[in-house]
Amino acid sequence: MYKEFIEKMYQTFSSAEKPRIDEVTPHRCMECDEVRDQLHPYDQRNIPDKLLIYHGDALPLLSPKALRYYFPRYIEFGLLNQDCNAFDNCLYQLAPHEMDEYWQERIAVFNTEEKAIFREYLELRRTLQYEDLDEEYISKGLTIWV
């Protein structure tokens, strides 16, 4: 059902460079190091489902460069597994509560085409059964990713 969107998304993000291991998570702590060590061995399309289940809430820990590289896989996995926390966390990542320096740095790494894919994804989320619960985040995200 989502195959065309997923392929278009990966094509759009094809220029995203894989971060070096020291670029995956900028903060050094046990949790961030675990995320870094477990994600880094994989190319963006090959992260195993079990890691995305386990690290479904790790998006805020990623550096902007790592977010750009790994986010498409999180979106794909979330669309195909809507009962996992990665599904919700993808939406929250696209609709921050406030636009502080942390979020501005994250948004700045995405190019115009990638931002358009995020808008397309948010519109796709509107068609899902969770639309009523998610509308606040969808509407906010659509104003951010222009």
Q: How many CB atoms lie within 10 A of CB 129?
A: 8
Nearest to 47 by CA among 77, 23, 19: 77
Q: What percent of the chain has pLDDT over 70?
A: 99
Predicted pLDDT at 97: 87
pTM value is 0.95
Mean pLDDT across 113-134: 90
Instruction: For 28-55, write each residue's pLDDT tens digit.
Output: 999 999 999 999 999 999 999 999 999 9
Range of the domain at 68: 3-144
**Whether residue 146 has pLDDT greater than 70:** yes
Give how many domains the chain has, as a whole number.
1
